[in-house]
Amino acid sequence: MTEDHFRVTPHSNFSLEEVETKKTPGFRSKQSAESKLAQDIQDLAELQAMLFAQGRQGVLMILQAMDTAGKDGAIKHVLTGVNPQGIDVHNFRVPSAEELNHDFMWRALRHLPERGRIGIFNRSYYEEVLVVRVHPELLGNEKLPKGAIKKDLWKERYEDINAIEKYLTNNGIVVVKFHLHISKEEQRKRLLARIDEKDKNYKISSADVYERTFWKDYMTAYEDMLRHTSTDYAPWYVIPSDHKWYTRVAIGDILVRTLKSLDLEYPKVTKQQEKEIVRAKRLLSV
């Protein structure tokens, strides 16, 4: 598997049709993928420990997808072995009244990870160029000044997002973004499963089904977002997601590669610290 297979080239005419949702490149079976994921989970645990100990860089992982694409499951399975103290997960749902009193990125930016930690956004400020673009009437709730809602609004938001992510990168926060690409038919099956299986009933809502009627609009919004906000410093990876096991192994592989590219290591012990260690050992030996 190579991460470049999924990476959206900046300023390209990328199309979601280029990524077949049922494909599992690099793996012929679920068993082989699970073996690879198990190794990546071990590697992630070690890499996160070094990231935390070094304390100079952080990682922001963003997941965006249509409902049922597997965001929650990916977080649970890929990061299962990582020390919880080094991870923060935030879910972003319908904005609250307080959040609507602020700019569109405020509610997400206040949850940015510290250096040494991995922050995970399950949905993010990208909802503002996805859901809000598909349902522009939602802009009326955002208390924008007169003249702010105009033809170039989405282009301006792309520019704002790129600027923020460049700022984060310049300050040691690595931004890696995943779009879990699921087919409309596979989503239908998963929604039906939530209805048919009683222990999954809590997951279903009429809103999820209603949003399917805007599928083409969402695909257009996703493509435009991917084309305009995948950058060299904060790339988008589009993951085929009709097979949950493949979604997880692909994300795990890319995360490991991303963290390895940071040249992480445990802090070197200074001479003064070496003296203190010797003294501590002497005291403990009494």
pLDDT digits (tens, 9 = 90+) for 87-122: 999 999 999 999 999 999 999 999 999 999 999 999
Tokens of 151: 């033809």
Average pLDDT value for residue range 155-162: 98
Cβ neighbours around 74 below 10 Å, total: 26
Domain housing 147: 3-284
Q: Which residues of 139-167 are buried (b: 16+ CB within 10 A; e: fewer)?
A: beebeeeeeeeeeebbeebbebbbebbee
User: Would you state the pLDDT for residue 3?
Assistant: 60
Element (H, E) at 163: helix 153-170
Domain count, the chain: 1
Q: CA 261, CA 271: separation in Å to the nearest integer?
A: 29
> Is 209:194 a contact under the CB 8 Å cutoff?
no
Q: Is the pLDDT of residue 1 over 80?
A: no
> Is 40:260 a contact under the CB 8 Å cutoff?
no
Q: What is the pLDDT of residues 26-75, one digit of tens each?
A: 898 899 999 999 999 999 999 999 999 999 999 999 999 999 999 999 99
- Tell if the pTM clears 0.85, that is, is over it: yes
Q: Is the pLDDT of residue 205 over 90?
A: no
> Is 134:221 a contact under the CB 8 Å cutoff?
yes
User: Would you state the pLDDT for residue 109?
Assistant: 97
Give the domain CATH number at 104. 3.40.50.300
In the chain, the amino acid numbered 168 is L
